[in-house]
Amino acid sequence: MKRMLASSSPAMVLLFMVFAVLVMLPEASAKRWLVGDNMGWNSNVNYSTWVKGKHFYNGDWLFFVYDRNQIDVLEVNKNDYEKCNSDHPLHNWTTGAGRDDVPLNVTRNYYFISGKGGFCFKGMKVAIHVENLPPPPKEDDS
């Protein structure tokens, strides 16, 4: 029995240390944003207004809900965003279900448009700035 305890002791110490490190890590709070809130991804939403005041962080998700028969979700570069050009998307996030999650896993600007039906020209486009989470507040030593 002593031999078994002696051999498992380093493993138990390692397990304890891993657990302790995990407990001390700051809590990450990724958010899943419903694009357009209860209106979803459609031509009746001002997405410039929708974005105002929101902070998108690395690790968040955009959730696009739309009519899959009429609308799509294309990620484009800034120039194509401004011109509503859907000819060369960086990524087509349309899965066919009309319920698409887009991971925001790089700190940069993202540009999304609908390339169908001329909806982009009617304002169906959104630009998202993704940043790193701010550091946690420092504890007051007083």
> How far is residue 64's CA from residue 21's CA, in Å, rounded to a whole number?
36
Contact 131, 57 (CB under 8 A): yes
pLDDT of residue 24: 38
pLDDT of residue 22: 38
Question: Domain map of the chain by residue range?
Answer: 32-131
Collapsed DSSP state (helix, strand, coil) of residue 116: coil
Quote the pTM value. 0.76
| Residues lower than pLDDT 70 in the chain | 1-28, 141-142
Contact 86, 40 (CB under 8 A): no
pLDDT of residue 136: 83
pLDDT of residue 9: 65
pLDDT of residue 8: 53
Residue 130 is encoded by which pair of tokens?
């993704």
Architecture in CATH of 32-131: Sandwich (2.60)
